[in-house]
Structure 1
Amino acid sequence: MSKEFDFFGNEQISKLFDLVLELGMDLHVASTRIRALEMMLVRSGKLNNGELDGFIPTADEKQVLDKNRDEFMARLMRIITEVGPAEHPLREQWDQALVKRSRS
């Protein structure tokens, strides 16, 4: 990690901070989009207010949701486990991520 991005003088704390920032950004974007989508569906009459709270996925839908969760967690774990400078993607890890994605 370069000194420019090491705000706390401790690499582990800086990585944890990176993880918290990543989670915060993802949470904000996801919750905003979910709320907007639900509002649009209620407004158009396609969904009743609060109906989304009772959603139970089918087996196929659960598979998709579980896969999305696993990919999200892998991305977060990569922040903690990556080595080298954090200011740019690491070539080896980037290549591995591309290969894995192409197999999906």
Structure 2
Amino acid sequence: MSDEFDYFDDPRIGRLLDLVLQLNTEVHVVNQRLRATEALLVRHGVLTDGELDHFTPSAQEQRVLDDQREAVAGRLAAILAESGPAEHPLREQWTARLTERAG
């Protein structure tokens, strides 16, 4: 394991920072896509401004939301549990996600 990018005495602190950075990335991407989607739906008259604030999911929709939450939690837990080099945490998974999103 390389020490080149170990900036803290305790590697768990580095993993925690990786977790925070991953959370920031997730939140940023979701916010951008949500705002763009809502703006387009309002622009095209599909939704009224603010309608999403009162959304109540169906049982199936709630299952999808729950599954997505679990997937994100799993990725974040993997950051805390990994033992590979700090310079490329979850690089393969990250590259796959970027490729998938660029689709």
Shift of 1:14: 0.2
TM normalised by structure 1 equals 0.80
Aligned CA distance change for structure 1 residues 89 and 17 (closer, same or farther; 3 Å): closer
Question: 1:67 — aligned with what?
Answer: 67
The structure 1 segments of at least 4 consecutive aligned residues displaced by more than 3 Å after TM superposition are 88-91
Aligned residues: 92
RMSD of Structure 2 on Structure 1 (CA): 2.0
The TM-score normalised by the length of structure 2 is 0.80
User: What does residue range 1-104 of structure 1 map to in structure 2 within 5 Å?
Assistant: 1-86=1-86, 87=88, 89=90
* Residue identity (%): 47
For structure 2, the residue ranges without an aligned partner over 5 or more in a row are: 94-103
Once the two structures are TM-superposed, the CA of residue 8 in structure 1 deviates from its matched residue by: 2.0
Extract unaligned runs of 5+ from structure 1: 95-104
The one of the two structures with greater contact order (alpha-carbon pairs below 8 A, sep at least 6) is 2
In structure 1, how many angstroms separate the alpha carbons of the residues matched to 2:4 and 2:34? 35
* Counterpart contact for 2:15–2:80, Cα < 8 Å: yes
Give the SS at the match of 2:85: coil
